[in-house]
Amino acid sequence: MAAKTAITLLWEQRTAPKRGPKPTLSLDAIAAAGVEIADAGGLAAVTMQQVAERLDVTKMALYRYVPGKVELVALMTDLAIGEPPRPDATTTGWRPKLDAWARQMFDRFLAHPWALETTVGHRAIGPNELGWMEAATAALTGTGLAGPEILDTAATLTGHVRLIAQQVAAAPSGAPEQVLGETVGGLLAGREDRFPTLTAAMADKGGEDNAFDFGLRCILDGVQLLVGRPRQ
């Protein structure tokens, strides 16, 4: 084996070997098993042993298909992120498209919270992940925004989606805002003089409190100012 890299595994056509015994496993089956384990028990539960047991194989058998765990996680990630949403012909306009895009990405991350941990830092980007970027870019193409501005918009939206998804995933029961209130509220008790405005803000029940919608609207409002801007 020529020590296939993660990029190769993610992007290259998978060719069945010509000689030797029939493989009992496949890259997709291995990745799917890993996804199931991660969905059920978190990323920490994904060990070579666990994945192998689920496939009724020895741990070392997996190394015939995957060079190491990082490559396995890369395959799992691209599988879990899934194909980007089909461009919905009914929704027109960049803003509804981006809004739907962000919400669908949010749903994907909620379905596979562990993917939030695996999609950070230096990593191999798979076809599906790149497809999501393409979808966001397509929504903004033709609005008059420059290329870098389009990419930066997608990045900003991603940051917001990820942050809220992380908060929701950390508190599976109940709204994230409520859980935050309990945690921080407990810490603030008896220390109101040290954190006065924070105490006041948390006590104020006025206004809407949907962190996801709020941030999404803020960002899209900011982008709208650029879209409506006169060409220079």
Kindly write down the DSSP assignment for every residue of 29-74, as one continuous string: HHHHHHHHHHHHH-GGG--HHHHHHHTTS-GGGGGGT-SSHHHHHH
Distance CA 116, CA 123 (A): 13
Binding positions for DNA, 29-48, rule CB under 7 A: 46-48
Rule CB under 8 A: choose which of 95, 143, 149, 175 binds a copy of itself. Answer: 149
Residue 70 or residue 203: which is nearer to DNA going by CB?
Answer: 70
Query: From DNA, a copy of itself, none, which one binds at residue 211 (CB under 5 to 8 Å depending on kind)?
Result: a copy of itself
Residue 29 or residue 202: which is nearer to a copy of itself going by CB?
Answer: 202
Tokens matching residue 169: 């995933």
Q: Which residue has the tokens 């949907």?
A: 210
Cβ–Cβ < 8 Å for 167, 176? yes
Check binding of 100 to a copy of itself (CB under 8 A): no
Nearest to 82 by CA among 57, 119, 137, 121: 119
Query: From DNA, a copy of itself, none, which one binds at residue 27 (CB under 5 to 8 Å depending on kind)?
Result: none
Contacting range for a copy of itself; rule: CB under 8 A; set: 18-26, 29-37, 92-100, 201-209: 201-209
Check binding of 39 to a copy of itself (CB under 8 A): no
Q: How far is the CB of 199 from a copy of itself (least distance, A)?
A: 9
Q: How far is the CB of 148 from a copy of itself (least distance, A)?
A: 4
Q: How far is the CB of 188 from a copy of itself (least distance, A)?
A: 8
Distance CA 189, CA 103 (A): 35
Size of the site for DNA (CB under 7 A): 26
Contacting range for DNA; rule: CB under 7 A; set: 12-20, 147-155, 159-167, 193-201: 12-20
Q: Which residue has the tokens 């954190």?
A: 195
Contacting range for a copy of itself; rule: CB under 8 A; set: 60-68, 90-98, 103-111, 157-165: 157-165
Distance CA 169, CA 179 (A): 11
Cβ–Cβ < 8 Å for 27, 9? yes
Cβ–Cβ < 8 Å for 38, 114? yes
Rule CB under 8 A: choose which of 138, 143, 175, 227 binds a copy of itself. Answer: 138
Residue 23 or residue 144: which is nearer to a copy of itself going by CB?
Answer: 144
